[in-house]
Amino acid sequence: MARAWRRGELAHRFDTAMPDRPARPALPELLPPNQMPRRGKGGSERGRIALLHALAHIEFVAIDLAFDMAGRFGGAFPRGFTDDWISVGADEAMHFALLDRRLKSLGSHYGAMPAHDGLWESATATAHDPLARLAVVPMVLEARGLVVTPETIARFKSAQYDTSARILSRIFTDEIRHVRAGTIWFEFACAAKGFSAESHWRSLVSRYFRGLIKPPFNDSARDSAGLTREYYQELAPV
């Protein structure tokens, strides 16, 4: 789809309603987050495979989130918005393919374990408002990866899981770009409406994000993505 879009083979038209939920494969079994089996911190071979499976699931849902962003809200923005989110979706598909290939090399595969169904809740809660979607999905959920991913890379390296660490290093580089896309379009929309981007972001996150914005933050990576401390410092618990 991304290739067809770049070649001009798809119309920039938004006359079909997006589904409430994307189609899903039969596996993995999707469970509420509080019913997921504990996987530990990846200290064993089994734990590392479970961690890779969880990461593959995040990337799989991220494909849906990116294309839903383009399809649901693209008509309200300049064409560059759709360009960016289709590109993000293509990145997420590549990330998923790398992780699934890694799982198969370790004797597993995506769908071999249950996965939690909490990620799509954010899409459902923000389906009516592109600013809320941008505030929560790229600027909170994906921004979390700017802290979690380097920590996971370090754990994989210490366990001599070098292939997995290289995959996550590639994902981390792309995550910065994805958060930047979210921040740029959020600020564009806020400027068009006369909103203060930082204060409006805090208001939307308080309303639509079920959780805490808590340190550590990896300020340098967030700064590279344009998500400066003025956004999130006031929400962090003391």
Containing 30, the helix (H) or strand (E) segment is strand 30-31
pLDDT digits (tens, 9 = 90+) for 24-48: 999 999 988 788 877 655 568 899 9
Convert 200-219 to b/e letters by CB count within 10 Å (16 or more is b): bbbebbeebbeeebeeebbb
Give DSSP secondary structure letters for 90-150. HHHHHHHHHHHHHHHHTT--TTSS-EE--HHHHHHHTTT-HHHHHHHIIIIIIHHHHHHHH
pLDDT digits (tens, 9 = 90+) for 160-207: 999 999 999 999 999 999 999 999 999 999 999 999 999 999 999 999
Confidence of residue 54 (pLDDT cuts 50, 70, 90): very high
Cβ pair 142, 122 in contact under 8 A: no
CA distances from 158 to 35, 48, 89, 102, 187 (A): 30, 12, 31, 18, 39
The SS3 call for residue 20 is coil
Q: How far apart are CA 7 and CA 26, in angstroms?
A: 32
Q: Is the pTM of this model over 0.95?
A: no
Residue 238 pLDDT: 56
Confidence of residue 216 (pLDDT cuts 50, 70, 90): confident
Q: How far apart are CA 128 and CA 150, in angstroms?
A: 33
**Phi, psi values for residue 55, rounded to 5°:** -65, -40
The SS3 call for residue 42 is coil
